[in-house]
Structure formats: structure tokens, C-alpha cells
Amino acid sequence: MTTIDIPDDSLFGLGNLPYGVFSTPGSRPRVGVRVADFVVDLAATLGDEVFARPTLNAFMAQGRRRWDEVRRRVGELVSGEVPDTAVHPVGEVTMHLPIEVGDYVDFYASEHHASNLGRLFRPGSPPLMPNWKHLPVGYHGRAGTVVVSGTDIVRPCGQRKAADDPAPAFGPSRRLDIEAELGFIVGTGSPLGTRVRCDEFPERVFGAVLVNDWSARDIQSWEYVPLGPFLGKSFATSISPWVVPIAALEAARVDTPPKDPEPLPYLRETEPWGFDIEMAVEWNGRLVSRPPYREIYWSPAQMLAHMTVNGASTRTGDLYASGTVSGPRQDQRGAFIELTWGGAEPVDINGEKRTFLEDGDEVVITATAPGSDGRRIGFGEVRGRILPAVDDDGGR
């Protein structure tokens, strides 16, 4: 038997206990929980076959009472002696995509980000569109290209046309960017023809992950009118492998920024669902930004209420993300198009000037939040490296 030693400064103490899907060499992917620098095999210890599955979906579908019960049992389990064969050093496992993604929606809920992009994409016009403070603006993304942290990202090809180009050209994106976001995973879905109210958020949503919404700005700026993002976003979206339960974020809860004007009744919250989560973005190992999630205008409860107000159903495994998290300061911007102001203000990365991503560049997004008992909890990381474009045949 093993007793897991949890250092006082570990971001994966008993107040966190995030779930993920892991494998060891020669074994099948199954559900584990992270404790300090170890992964505890829940398939081998809890005696429920939902943990032997290669995704969290079956467990998530069991609902909030079961999530709470399992969280209690896991806390007891890892506080005592655990069978040796169920404990693996985190460096010796492979982490997999933790969920089978149902639908994927991406919002645009940071006022700082939306205003900065408004200034960059529509100079001379008001930075926010008239709808922005009345509803959480979003779009439906491509669920099938959500990948787990560590997956290499092939530079996308596509059409691009700068404002003064006479015609579009085809080729690898030259303005490849990141978006540092927080993602929320639906645990229990809702039927077609019904709405999810804001106060149902903790019953419906299982947990949160880090998201990097890779974005090809040159493809995006040519294609997005009038229907929004399409191929400039859909080539890949990376998520972190550890799903932090909403219950672990209780000490991180804060009010979202004041709402002016007051939103329509279905978007009014009786409880605050903002979170004081500090994110960090590293570009080739250099810390370039610390986006503050607490600045996000719309809460994930409001996003879910809005996403279903037309009667759209939700399913276990649906993923919805906040949109780029940016704060008011230059060093709090969660996308490089903002950080370098459209490429006009390069940043110094280890002696090299950078505006957008070069082949071989690697981006790592991390985050921490206040946990129970005064310690901080961590989300782990979402990491991705850019590979050169393939099939660049000029679009023939």
C-alpha cells in the first residue's frame, strides 16, 4: 500500500482532485484523479465500471449527487492507504482527451478582448457591437477537432486577403494566433424544447478545463463576414487533460463585473458564478501574459442559459468556452493579436521578435485559483507546438 505525500504547496491537494483519462504503457485508457504528482486509478479502486471507460462521459452523466458522493469517496481514499498498483507518477502516464466532446460552442465574453478586437478589425467604429452587453455573443465550433494538450498543431492553409490586396491568395496562415480561454463541460444534458436556467449551472456543469482556441487571423478576417468564424478556427482547439470539478472552485467564486445595462430576466443570476482564476501564457518558455478570468463579463451560468434559451438541447460532453480571457493591461491579453496590437508591436521572445506564431513555436497556458483551506489549486496546462503546413499546393 502507498500513502500519497501531498506537499503544502502542491496545486493538486485534497481541495482540487481533478479527473482525467490516463493510460500506462500497454494498458487501456481509464479514469484517474490527480493528487500531488500522482495519478490514482479510479477504475482499480472505486468498483464502478464507469471509471474503466476511456472518457468521463458515463460518470458525468450520473449527475450532481453522484459527483458529490464520488468526490467525498476519492478524498477519503487518497487520504489513506492506496494499493500500490493504483498509484502512478504523473510523469509515467499518457493523458488522453478526457471527454467525448458533444457540441462545442465558443463565446466572446471578455469586454477587454471584444473591445480590443473591435478596434483592430473595425477601426473608427464603436469597439463593441450594439448587442454585446445584452447577450453573450458566441458561435458553434467544430467538436471533432478538439484535441488534448500536447497534440501538435499543423499550420492551417486557406484563403487570405488583406484589405488592399486585389484578390484572395491561398497558402499557409501567416497570422497564426492563440486564444487563452476557460472551457466548461456539461455533465447532465437538457431536452430539446427546454431552457436551462442560470441557477441550474451547478447541477448541469461538471467541471472546467483550459482551452487554447488556435486562430488563423488572416483566414478569419477574410471569411468571417457575415456568418462569423469558420475555417480560421476549426482546424484545432486544444484542452487541458484535467477536468477541475465545479465543486473545487467554490473558494474561487466572485461576482462578474457589474452589468450595465441590466440584462433580460433569463440572464439575471441570483448567485454569482464568476471565478477568480489567474491564467498565464508562456510563448517558447517566456511568460508573456497573465489573463485574469475574473474580468469575464458573462458568467458560465449565463452562457448556458443563453445557449439554451431557444430550446436547444444539451448533452453530456458538450463543451463551451469563455472566449479569450483578457484584462485591461497589455500584459493581461490572452491573444497575440492583442498583445502585439495586430502585429504592429512585436514582443521579444528569448531575443527574437515575434508577432504571430512561427513553425516550431510552443505555447503553454496554465492557471491557478484559490482553493479550500487557503491553498491554491491548479488546472495543469494546455500545451501545443506548431508544425509546418502540409499540402501547400497553392489550393489547386
| Residues taking part in catalysis | 113
Spell out, one character per residue from 178 to 207, where the chain touches Mn ion: x when CB under 5 A holds, - when not.
-x----------------------------
Q: How far is the CB of 112 from Mn ion (least distance, A)?
A: 14
Q: Which is nearer to Mn ion, 106 or 223 (CB)?
A: 106
Q: Which is nearer to Mn ion, 113 or 160 (CB)?
A: 113
Q: How far is the CB of 177 from Mn ion (least distance, A)?
A: 10
Q: Indicate whether 177 belongs to the interface with Mn ion (CB under 5 A).
A: no
Q: Which is nearer to Mn ion, 106 or 338 (CB)?
A: 106
Spell out, one character per residue from 263 to 282, where the chain touches Mn ion: x when CB under 5 A holds, - when not.
--------------------
Query: Grid coordinates standing for 298?
Result: 458573462
Q: How far is the CB of 202 from Mn ion (least distance, A)?
A: 24
Q: How far is the CB of 338 from Mn ion (least distance, A)?
A: 12
User: Which segment (83-91, 133-141, 177-185, 367-375) binds Mn ion by CB under 5 A?
Assistant: 177-185
User: Which segment (16-24, 62-70, 210-218, 254-262) binds Mn ion by CB under 5 A?
Assistant: 210-218
- Residue showing the smallest CB distance to Mn ion in the complex: 213
- What CA–CA distance (Å, rounded) separates 298 from 320? 13
DSSP per-residue codes, 112-148: HHHHHHHHHHSTTS-SS-TTTTTS--EEE--GGGEEE
- Check: CB of residue 53 under 8 Å from CB of residue 23: no
Query: Grid coordinates standing for 27?
Result: 494498458
What is the bridge-based pairing of β-strands 146-148 and 237-239? parallel
Q: Which is nearer to Mn ion, 57 or 215 (CB)?
A: 215
Q: How far is the CB of 86 from Mn ion (least distance, A)?
A: 37
Q: How far is the CB of 323 from Mn ion (least distance, A)?
A: 5
- Check: CB of residue 320 under 8 Å from CB of residue 183: yes
Q: Which is nearer to Mn ion, 148 or 211 (CB)?
A: 211
The one among 111, 213, 278, 295 contacting Mn ion by CB under 5 A:
213
Angle at 126 between CA 140 and CA 277, to 5 degrees: 55
Q: Which of residues 79-108 bind Mn ion (CB under 5 A)?
A: 106
- What CA–CA distance (Å, rounded) separates 287 from 39? 27
DSSP per-residue codes, 246-280: GGGGGGGEEPPSPPSSPPPGGG--SS--EE--EEE
Q: Which is nearer to Mn ion, 15 or 334 (CB)?
A: 334
Q: Which is nearer to Mn ion, 74 or 101 (CB)?
A: 101
Cell 484535441, residue? 147
Q: How far is the CB of 103 from Mn ion (least distance, A)?
A: 15
Residues across the chain: 396
- What CA–CA distance (Å, rounded) separates 213 from 176? 11
User: Which segment (52-60, 174-182, 328-336, 367-375) binds Mn ion by CB under 5 A?
Assistant: 174-182
Query: Which candidate, 240, 254, 256, 325, places its Cα nearest to that of 291?
Result: 325
Query: Grid coordinates standing for 129?
Result: 457591437
Element containing residue 217 per DSSP (H, E): helix 217-223
- What CA–CA distance (Å, rounded) separates 92 from 25? 8
Tell me, by CB under 5 A, how many residues bind Mn ion. 3
Which residues are CB-neighbours of 8 under 8 A, at least 6 positions away? Answer: 375
Residue 186 DSSP SS3: strand
- The residues binding Mn ion (CB under 5 A) are 106, 179, 213
